[in-house]
Amino acid sequence: MSQVIEGLYYSKDHEWARVDGDSAYVGITDYARTSLGDIVYCDAEPVGAVVTAGGTLGAVESVKAASDILSPVSGAVTEVNSDLLDNPERLAEDAYENWIVKITLNDASELNALMDAADYEAYCESL
């Protein structure tokens, strides 16, 4: 069973958001990581880029396939985890410690459209 962490917000596309003041750290969930298999590439929009909820935030690739990372929230990228981008296989160690970008939250009410841990767990089980 894939790991799901309390206190994070989850999207149907298997991204998570962790609120930090007026920003959020964003990454991909353990479910996404397990489905992809060996992750060999991860990329993200650069600092300063503006993203919309549901818009492309970056890409993650397994050996067999490329997959878009969609932003769960709208905002501007303030930090990129370049250490992770250089070592994408680290996502296999911990999908939640290894955030991909930090985004300023344009509209905190967007978080209401996301799932909490229990809902996300149930959602994954339904897939």
Interacting residues toward another protein by CB under 8 A: 37-38, 40-41, 43, 59, 61, 63-64, 66, 85-86
CB of 40 to another protein, least distance (A): 5
List b or e across 95-121, with b for residues whose CB sees 16 or more CB atoms inside 10 angstroms: bbebbbbbbebbeeebbeebbeeeebb
- For another protein, the closer CB: 62 or 106: 62
CB of 64 to another protein, least distance (A): 6
In the structure encoding, which two tokens stand for residue 107, read together?
């509209």
CB of 118 to another protein, least distance (A): 27
- For another protein, the closer CB: 40 or 113: 40
- For another protein, the closer CB: 6 or 64: 64
Of all helices (H) and strands (E), which one includes residue 126?
Answer: helix 117-126
Give the whole-angstrom CA distance, residue 44 versus residue 59: 6
- For another protein, the closer CB: 24 or 69: 69
Give the whole-angstrom CA distance, residue 68 versus residue 28: 11
CB of 89 to another protein, least distance (A): 9
Give the whole-angstrom CA distance, residue 86 versus residue 60: 12
